[in-house]
Each structure stands twice: as structure tokens, then as C-alpha cells.
Amino acid sequence: MVLDPRTKLLILSITSISVFLNESIVIECLFIIIPVWLLLQAKEFRMAIKQGIFFMVLLILQLFVVSKLPVTIAGIFYMFDVYMRKLIPCFMLGSFLIHTTKVSTFLVAFSRLRFSKGFTIALSVTLRYFPTMSEEWNYIKEAMILRGINASLIGFLRHPIRIMEYVYVPMLVSASKISDEITQAAITRGIDHVGKRSCIEKVCFSVWDALIVMIYIGIIGVMLFNFLRGGVFP
């Protein structure tokens, strides 16, 4: 199953807005099922299983643990739990977009929407930036491990100043260099070409695109129905 890049960005935008307007746990589960299924279809099994389990753990904590905590602690934990859970489907769809979309295909698809050149180029550079940044982060962590520095959360809590100096400062420097290198590489490959772009891959809406969009429209309809009815779904 291959989705059009425009469909991927559309469902990501819909989810990013809808999950924060939604108040139903049932509808929230619907928003997580589709990204899990899409990642499994894209053979991103580790990401799908990891984030799906993380979502279920947060949901179980809210339903069975928060009510047993003191009021003040429960309020703080509840806010953290809910907002983390709402970000998970957005993160999963963003990962799906990044890992399954080529920059050339992305450019061709969005050039047909008549967006401004600057907006399209910015999105394209961002699409390539995050995977490169992830690789750089792994390199820095491996280099720090060889020097006996733990770059995990536990290491940060134990030695925050040292982690900031030896891990986060190199990360910021690398981020600046990577952004410049990606921009220069994109310009070299003709990203700012003013003429019509060509692509060897077929870029068009398919039956799968229509199905995914209809599913999301249906979820939004259910969410609006639930809101107008005063909370039919828990």
C-alpha cells in the first residue's frame, strides 16, 4: 500500500488538531489504531509495537492508577499522561511520513498544489532533516558511551551539567551543520528549479488514499456527534 504524500500530510494535520479537541477515550483509541496499522503496513514493526504498547500503558495508568493517588499528585500525573498520549498518534504519523516518503516524490506531489516555492522547499528540507539528525544523535551517543558517559535520561538526572556539555552542545553544533549541508545538497540537486518537475515514480491519489481520508472524515464525524450529544462515548 502506497499513499500519496499529500494524503500523509493531510491526515497528520487532521490528527494534530483533532486529538487535542477530542475528550473521548474511545475516539482517542481510533486515532491510535490507524497509525499503528499504517506503520505495520510500511514494515516499521518496532515503531508500531513500541508506540502502541506505550499508549496502552499510559491509558491503563490513567484508568486504574491515577484515581488512587493523592489529589495534587494525581492532577499533575493526569495532565502528563493525557498530553503524552495525545502526542503519540501525531508522532507515529510524522514518522510514517518521514520514513515512507522520498523527497523527490514529495516535491512533485506538492508542486501540484500550487504552494509557494519557499514553503515546499522548507517542508522538503525538514523531511530529510529528521532522519539525518537521528543518525547523528546515535553517533554522538555511541561516542559518549566509549568515553564512559551515559546519554540516557538516567545519565542526565545523575550528571545534568556533564550531559549538556558533552552531548547536547555537540548535538546543537551538528544540527546547525546538518541544516546547512542538507540545504546545499538540495540546491545542488535542483530543488529551486523554477520549471515543472518530473519524477520517474507515479504520484497520484489511489483507492487507498480515498479510503484513509474517508476513515478520518468518519472519525471526525463521530467526534462531532459525541461533542454535540454531550459525551455519548466515554
CA quadruple 202, 206, 209, 213: dihedral sign: positive
Whether the Cβ atoms of residue 93 and residue 5 lie closer than 8 Å to each other:
no
For the chain, the 3-state helix, strand and coil shares in percent, each to the nearest 5, are: 80, 0, 20
Percent of the chain clearing pLDDT 70 (strictly above): 89
Tell me which H or E stretch contains 90.
helix 71-100
- C-alpha pair distances (Å), 20 with each of 9, 149, 220: 18, 38, 12
Cα separation, 214 vs 211, in Å, equals: 5
The model's pTM: 0.79
Weakest mean pLDDT among 84-93, 158-167, 183-192: 183-192
Query: Is the pLDDT reported for residue 151 higher than 80?
Result: no
Weakest mean pLDDT among 39-53, 189-203, 218-232: 189-203
- C-alpha pair distances (Å), 36 with each of 56, 70, 175, 215: 12, 34, 29, 14
Residue 117's contacts (CB-CB under 8 Å, 6 or more residues apart) are: 192, 194
CA 4 to chain centroid, in Å, comes to 17
